[in-house]
Amino acid sequence: MRVTRVWSAQACGVAFPALLAVAAYAVPAAAQDLKIRSPIIDVHELEFENNFVLGRSKNTVHELEYGFNDWLKLGVEAELAADPGQGLHYDSTALESFLQLTPQGKYWADVGLFAEYEHTARQGDPRSLTIGPLVQKEVPLLGLNTLNTINALFIKQMGAGSVGPLSLQMATQSVVLLDPHFAPGMEYYGIVTLGEHGDEPQHRIGPAFVGRVGFRELGLDAPGGIRYDAAYLRGLTGTTQPNTFRFRFELEFPL
């Protein structure tokens, strides 16, 4: 789960405003997974990821993933969550898979498929199944190279405690590839309820940055490195949390 890319230019692609137009219908942050997933898989790489989201409510997600080959990566994650004024508690466990559907750079865009099964900790809470495409494209813009990513994930609750129809969660990111260590940009998140009696639409958008530093750059005689990204997100509707900060770092170990 990352923004991975060879830092070189590619021809034409998709502009970030177009991504926002696609995603402009969107839902509650507490139910939303604030992260950007890349369709690119690094073969035989073990990844330990930590994602922190801070707002009125808080949650942390810790994941272990491994790229078995150039088309399959599997992972397991545990989530801790806290309601406003409460301490963190174990909230859920999830099993996830990534399929890279196109060789990197061969077609108009890099495309993957993500699937996740989540089992909640509290008895009676609904389980959920998430599945959807991951799309990434490098675009030249005003003499600079930008990397644009869309995650369009369909989420369905299951079990006796499930409520509501199918929902569509959108996550988009566009960054300017200035340097491998620091690439600034923007992120947008939202959810659409695909049916009647859904929650009120919510939107959040804000500045972001991504980067990577190798272990050898830090003076460690080892392959791999640390990948990181962060975003400050402003709610665009009255029912959205007004301010949310997210930070993620990932330790990468080629095996």
Residue position matching structure tokens 């988009």: 172
Task: Please compute the mean of the pLDDT values over residues 50-72 and round it to a whole number.
Answer: 93
- Residue range 16-254 in CATH 2.40.160.40: yes
Residues 181-235 pLDDT 10s = 999 999 999 988 887 666 677 789 999 999 999 999 999 999 999 999 999 999 8
Least confident of 172-186, 210-224, 239-253: 239-253
- Burial class of residue 11 in the structure, from the number of CB atoms within 10 Å of its CB (0-12 exposed, 13-18 middle, 19+ buried): exposed
- Distance, CA of 45 to chain centre: 19
Predicted pLDDT of residue 175: 98
Q: How far apart are CA 158 and CA 15, in angstroms?
A: 36
pLDDT at 21 exceeding the cut of 50: no
Residue position matching structure tokens 């839902």: 27
Predicted pLDDT of residue 114: 99
Predicted pLDDT of residue 63: 97
What's the predicted TM-score (pTM) here? Answer: 0.83
pLDDT at 247 exceeding the cut of 90: yes
Q: State the average pLDDT for the chain.
A: 85
Handedness of CA 226, 16, 7, 182 (dihedral sign): negative
Q: Exposure pattern of 216-238 as b/e (b: 16+ CB <10 Å)?
A: eeeeeeeebbebbbbbebebbee
pLDDT at 34 exceeding the cut of 70: yes
Predicted pLDDT of residue 200: 73
Task: Please compute the mean of the pLDDT values over residues 57-79 and round it to a whole number.
Answer: 95
Provide the residue ranges of all domains of the chain, joining segments of one domain with +.
Answer: 16-254
Predicted pLDDT of residue 163: 67
